[in-house]
Chains A and B, each alone.
Chain A
Amino acid sequence: MYDVAVIGGGVIGCAIARELSRYRLSIVIVEKFEEVGFGTTKTNSGIIHAGHHSPPDTLKGKLVVRGNKLYDRLCKDLNFGFSRIGELVVARSESEIPELERLKKQGEAKGVPGLEVWDRERLRNAEPNLSNTLVAALHAPSAGVINPYELANALSENAVDNGVDLKVNCAVEKIVVKKGFFTVHTPPETIKARFVINCAGVYADKIAGMVGLRDFTIHPRKGEEYMLDKRLKGLVQRLIFPIPSKNTKGILIIPTFDGTIMVGPTAQDNADRDDASTTYEGSEQVFGFVSKICPSITERDTITEFAGLRAVSSTNDFIIGPTRIKGFINAAGIQSPGLTSAPAIALYVRDILKSEGLVLKKKGNFKPHLPGPPRFASLNYEQQKRLVEKDRLFAKVVCRCELVTEAEIHSAVDHGARTLDGIKFRSRAGMGRCQGGFCSSRCMDILSKRLDKPFEEITKRGGDSWVVRKMTDDV
């Protein structure tokens, strides 16, 4: 019997499990995919929002600012990629300037630090590649970027280091409410737990429905993002936002943590909870808009694209709290800024569990730290030489576009990679220009050896995402 079963290994589930692993509790994460973070967590803009966008009277408005502040500490502990590069909301005409002032006031009321309105000249000096028709901007220095999949991996790994069980390839199909506990049924196994935390992203209403709760619904809202060639690195230094609309923060220019420029997302309501497809309309919308703000960006620069699904709840806010089913707690409707809020949500859920009667006693031996992965390409020549002296596999190149070495692939496997995407998200191998053309067969060789699995059983991201078939199979 577990004290807590966390359903869903996205960033929210992982953040909650890791927070709870500070206490003397037995905890399990139940995730339907082969690795954590393979849901919405890997397909978003990766922005740690400053917090001025969300209205103060909403739960997300409260948690976002708190979440942002928690990132420095979290990053120190877990060593994922995070950098406060700052954000600019740009006004395209004089008539938009009052909106900048309104956002500034809204942010200041919530305690967002350092907000400042920049005039045309200051904006031009700071971001010379933006369109010269922009008239002003709101600067928010506390906004940042992270690699979200790195965060989810680091949170879950650190949680596991501190005693949490992680069960992957376990899709929850049924939950039975017993006296004082739940049985959570997945095809491979049945799990008993006193508390269940529902962090199932776009499926959270379905999970709630399994215990008879039908007081909210989730509808997916798709966002398409387009990754540009690294030739454009440095085009903008900060996150570039337009004036927000009612539903979204608009289409953004995002210098990702690795410096590559990404543009998006769109916001399109979607019927299908798994349909993360990109569309002609989406790319036209993104590039049509972005080229007005930064004229040198064109669709031709795209090296890859993806789409993610926001879990928009029927209340249009986060739904976090206990329910009339004692012990069943929701962390649902976590749309943007869910990534930013994740560490604050974890604390919030911890407090809820406490008031629901879970006894929280700190462990003496909690290990907060996780070393970051080695990053050969980001070191100088002398540092590289030292690494190679320790391990010759640092001199064996596996991914030529991002200069990833075999030692780094092994480290990714050591730290939990089970699929090609798992390797990619931990080491960057396959993320560059050639999109895995060069390295994927090498990575498969390494996975095959390390996991002791035949080559043809290695998948792109688990499930039915096979890569090759054996020649001798019947055709």
Chain B
Amino acid sequence: MLGRVEKKYGVVVIGGGPAGMGAALGARDYGEDRVLILDREPEAGGILLQCIHSGFGMHYFREELTGPEYAERFLQNIIDHDVDILSGSYVSGVVIDSGGSKKVRVMSESHGLITVETNAVVLAMGCRERTRGAVRIPGTRPSGIITAGLAQKFVNLKGYLPGKRISILGSGDIGLIMARRLTLEGCHVEGVFELMPYSNGLTRNVVQCLEDFDIPLHLSTTVAYIHGRDRIEKITVAPVNADLKPDMSRAWDVPCDTLLISIGLIPENELTQNLGIGLDVVTGGPLVSSTLETSMPGMFACGNVLHVHDLVDYVTREALLAGRFAGEWAKGVRRPKDNIRLVPGDNVRYCVPHTLSPEREHTIHLRCKAAMKPCKIRVGNLMEKKLRFVFPAEMIMFKIKPDLLDKFHGDTLRIDILPLEKGEKVD
């Protein structure tokens, strides 16, 4: 029920975005009937609420929905399943007593400071955007330099424009989507400047948001200087050399009144860190087992807080799973510990989960370091999977069947992305 909160739950989910909602449903489906979602925003739905473009749900609902529509469907489902939802409630910490019982500390205007006791917790806090400070752009510090997500909030939720003449640093998906959105609002988008030789966003966004609107994408280029005293007036951009440092001899100026920053997302793990939960330095999210359990027993993680996803459908799938295992845990089921460790090898930036157990089928998520085509994924000496291409911006997923793992006797499995050998072909 919306706005209801009891003293004790089986599963408490922190964050009410698609990950949190999916996890709550997963726990309910398993049969845990005391589930609470806490979200600090006035309404549950997470980042979806400001993504008014369509493109969500093609995998999960087999329909193209807008972000708010996708959220709405889930929310209704959750309310129907009698999950409690308290929005406007900020989780400031979790206290774990020696018996392993967890007390979630909540701040909310409607309830004051309260603690909620629970058996299991699902971390679903999403992520935040990297800012100007993270990339160190020299120059002045005027207004008009904001993250693409904040610009999206201003435009879609508040009805204001961040400016009229826009430059965009970084080709993350939010930046690309905002390039289109602002063009449609009558702003002039001068261009997108991307440090790397490839876009950081999905190919479909490059096509539908830039190419269709004749917005230039300058690859291997960065913003080297910011000008303007009170408000940003122009930027100096420059191609970068092999060391990714700007080559000022080839620099040029771009007048603009706004610079959107779209240079990546960081999982929101302050809470996780405060609990001493182990993090993966590459993903910025917690280390998790194949049941999506963190290093703290009974605490699970899913969605962007675990690793940054590019499609919400994948978030949902992962979340249903995390919720299910949290539900099990709440009911006292204890599975044997995973006994196989996954390690990223050649051209693999990270893989999630971090460990496996031979008893179930697993979906492995990974990202490559560099684009490669065609190529193959090799998992130890257990399996190979050929791919037409891999691309850092697009998450790679594949399944490992239990019968394969049954035959495996080691304790670490290395995953590599390798070029095809002579004579090998992608089917």
**B111-152 interface with A by 8 A CB criterion:** 111-113, 128-129, 131-134, 136, 138-144, 146-147, 149-150
Q: Which residue of B lies closest to A456 (CB)?
A: B160
Which of A385, A462, A465 neighbours the largest number of chain B CB atoms within 10 Å of its CB? A465
A461 to B144, CA, bound (A): 12
CB–CB B133/A303 < 8 A? yes
A447 to B163, CA, bound (A): 20
Which of B40, B90, B134, B136: most chain A CB closer than 10 A? Answer: B136
Query: Which range contains the number of A residues in contact with the other chain?
Result: 35 or more
CA distance A198 to B390 in the complex (A): 65
Does B133 contact A435, Cβ atoms closer than 8 Å?
Answer: yes
* B 216-230 binary contact with A (CB < 8 Å = 1; else 0): 000000000110011
Q: Is A187 an interface residue (CB 8 A)?
A: no
Identity of the chain B residue whose Cβ is nearest the Cβ of A377 in the assembled complex:
B92
Q: Which of A304, A434, A462 contacts B128 (CB 8 A)?
A: A434
Tell me which residues across on chain A come within 8 A of B97, comparing CB atoms. none
Task: Find out whether the CB atom of B141 lies under 8 angstroms from the CB atom of A280.
Answer: no
Contact residues of B between 141 and 176, Cβ < 8 Å to A: 141-144, 146-147, 149-150, 153-155, 158-164
B102 to chain A, nearest CB (A): 16
Closest B residue by C-beta to A386: B113
Q: How many Å lie between the Cα of A471 and that of B131 in the bound state?
A: 25
A441 engages B88 (CB within 8 Å): no
Q: Is A178 on the interface with B (CB-CB < 8 A)?
A: no
Residues of A within 8 A of B186 (CB): 475
Distance from A424 Cβ to chain B, minimum over Cβ atoms (Å):
12
**Are B108's CB and A395's CB within 8 A?**
yes
| Inter-subunit contact B40/A463 (CB<8 Å) | no
The binding surface of chain A is classed by DSSP as mixed
Among A299, A388, A461, which residue has its beta carbon within 8 angstroms of that of B112? A388
* B-binding segment of A83-91, A107-115, A251-259, A271-279: A271-279
Task: Tell me if A397 is interfacial: C-beta within 8 Å of chain B.
Answer: yes
List B contacts of A465 (CB < 8 A): 142-143, 230-231
B418 in contact (CB, < 8 A): no
A372-413 contacts to B (CB < 8 Å): 381, 384-385, 388-389, 392-393, 395-397, 400-401, 403, 405-406
Closest Cβ of chain A: how far from B114's Cβ, in Å? Answer: 9
Chain B CB within 10 Å, residue with most, of A384, A434, A440: A434
- A459 contacts which of B113, B133, B143, B188 (Cβ < 8 Å)? B143
Kindly identify, within residues 215 to 271 of chain A, every residue whose CB is under 8 Å from any CB belonging to chain B: 227
B138 in complex: contacting residue of A279, A401, A462, CB < 8 Å: A279
The 7 A-B residue pairs whose C-beta atoms are closest, nearest first, are A460-B143, A475-B186, A468-B160, A464-B230, A465-B143, A465-B230, A397-B90
Interfacial residues, chain B to chain A (CB-CB below 8 A): 40, 88, 90, 92, 105, 107-113, 128-129, 131-134, 136, 138-144, 146-147, 149-150, 153-155, 158-164, 185-188, 225-226, 229-231, 270
Question: Would you mind naming 18 contact pairs between A and B with Cβ atoms under 8 Å apart?
Answer: A276-B140, A277-B138, A303-B134, A305-B136, A388-B112, A393-B109, A395-B109, A397-B92, A397-B107, A437-B150, A456-B160, A460-B143, A461-B143, A463-B229, A464-B231, A468-B154, A468-B163, A471-B185
